[in-house]
Structure 1
Amino acid sequence: MQCDLPKKLSRIVLDPKRPYGFFYFAPGRWRFIHRINESEDRREAITESPATELLHSKPSRARTSRFLWTSAFRLGQGQSQTYRQGRWFLCGDAAHAMGPSAGAGMMVGVLGTWRLAWRLALATKGDPRGQALLDGYEREQRAASEEVPCNAYWLGRNEQVSGSSPLGPLFC
């Protein structure tokens, strides 16, 4: 969308009825997301009207000049059944999928890549622990990939209920 917000400002509004957020994308361009509730028609929910209503309300008060594109999507969450098959390994988004809460999926992916990289480096240099280290990658990474989405869910849920975040304000 095109709107009049300053580019240094992104917002997440954790309204229990309809959480939404908007994020700077490129000069004069913003990405706007909002939840589509189960009782709503998806085709109607992605038109300009519901989005404009949210953006013009408190607390954002943004003024849009036009919408460039709209779509509906579902957030998926899951993991591969295995992170290793013989000499092949999965890491990052190839190994797991999770919602975009606070960049948690990206951070789990970066951490998994780091966990795999140092193990591969030692194994290829002939370290006697090489196979054991490679075998440990899946166990360690799977635990993180299971824990992070649960923590992100509860942080978001607690903020929606209480109106405050243990991490400080998420609304700028």
Structure 2
Amino acid sequence: MKEQLVNRCMENIAHLSALSGIPFFLISAEDKKLLYPGDTRGFCEEHACSRCDALNTHLYGCNEAYRWNGKYIYYCPIGLVFTASSVTDEAGNLIGGAIMGPVLMGEYDDVLAEMDEALRSKASGLPALSTSNVTNLSEVLSAVTSYAAGMPHSKVGRIVYAQE
């Protein structure tokens, strides 16, 4: 992603992150790279495990968001929830995306009870959202990325489906 677009996305999504308390990062599909705000590292980097390849997991999320009109909610291999929103260039090509998460989806105690002890201690500080609030987060993230990219996701969807 071009630096100007990265900066616009970082700036706009930072407001949503501050409001919700949910971390975010960007992913460059072109460079195959995760981009974090400031000097922060993401949960995935700090708590890497053998079951998860963060880059591929989140690239998949962005590709699915691109397919599904700019938004996609998914579980990572260790059971945490993320929401992705695709970012496109002027021609409608996928160039990256924005990811918010991880969060726990559902009843906090129930979700933690299903995890092994090591993961439970790491995930206990994550926010827990209802299914409807994860959907709300996904919708707002999609609107923010559409605004930052200057292109509505619906136009991107028409481009993609017209090609198939």
What TM-score do the two structures reach when normalised by structure 2? 0.29
What TM-score do the two structures reach when normalised by structure 1? 0.27
Higher relative helix content: 2
State the structure with more CA Rg: 1
**Larger RCO of the pair (alpha carbons < 8 Å, separation 6+):** 2
